[in-house]
Structure 1
Amino acid sequence: MKLQPTKPTVKNPATQFTGDVWVDMIGVPQDDGQRASTARVQFSPGARSNWHSHGLGQTIHVTEGVAWIQARGGEVLEVHPGQTVYTAPGEEHWHGASPGAFMEHLVMMDIPDDPATATTWLEPVSDEEYLAGTARRP
């Protein structure tokens, strides 16, 4: 057993996110072959990731607020605290906060042997794409 060092909260880069987003790394891969990565991510209202995909998939578990999550070509999912979404390896998607409230989620994924392939960042989600899903929500 090994106590992990505390890492500071980091603001995510504007090249990968629209709006203010902060991350706290909870778990990182270890030298013994364990490959899991876990982070707590906080989004300001309306903030969202760029389109992206993960080489080995990603699990998203919402803990506070309301998340909007969309796979490319799919419907926007409205995800509430306690709900979990899985994105398959290579599935292009984005996730972020609804316009009216902060949102927090945990993200969990395995890191491939080549860490550079863990996440492939793509173009930003436009305001039009982001707001297009509002008409489909109750």
Structure 2
Amino acid sequence: MPDNEQQRPCPWLYSDGVWTRLDHDPVPSGKGDRYEDSIKAAGFVYWFGAGKLYNTPLHLNVYVRWHPHPEPRYLIELDGPEYGQVVYAAELPDALTLTQQIAPALQALTVTDQVGHADSESLSVLGDLLDKMHDRTQVKNGKTIRR
């Protein structure tokens, strides 16, 4: 297989509601480079994240870089247990739009994963919490009623 067929495709850029492929990766990495070091060398700094790696099925990190660096200004990293994906956002409105689109999936995956791995004691606590949230109480015969 030719060398160029073995390389990853260039990453995606989100700008003004449109997805395009970049002609190069703003975070080039050489063999043996740690990805975190390559991000820093490209001028990106950590902005925020959600989910703890290996404790949730999907982890999000957002990095930003300031002028004089050219666009893209934001790097959005999505990591799963075995595979990660990086996309870029041109400016702040683009980054906010993407994180807003990703947040519901991240939240749903995290809650589903946590409930799926809960033990019987945790499920009891979860049931009590849901009853409290929905203003329900248990009566002696075991039926759930609203207050």
TM-score (norm: length of structure 2)? 0.27
Q: Which has the larger radius of gyration?
A: 2
TM-score (norm: length of structure 1)? 0.28
Structure number with higher relative contact order (C-alpha < 8 Å, ≥ 6 residues apart): 1
Relative to total residues, which structure has the larger strand share, 1 or 2?
A: 1
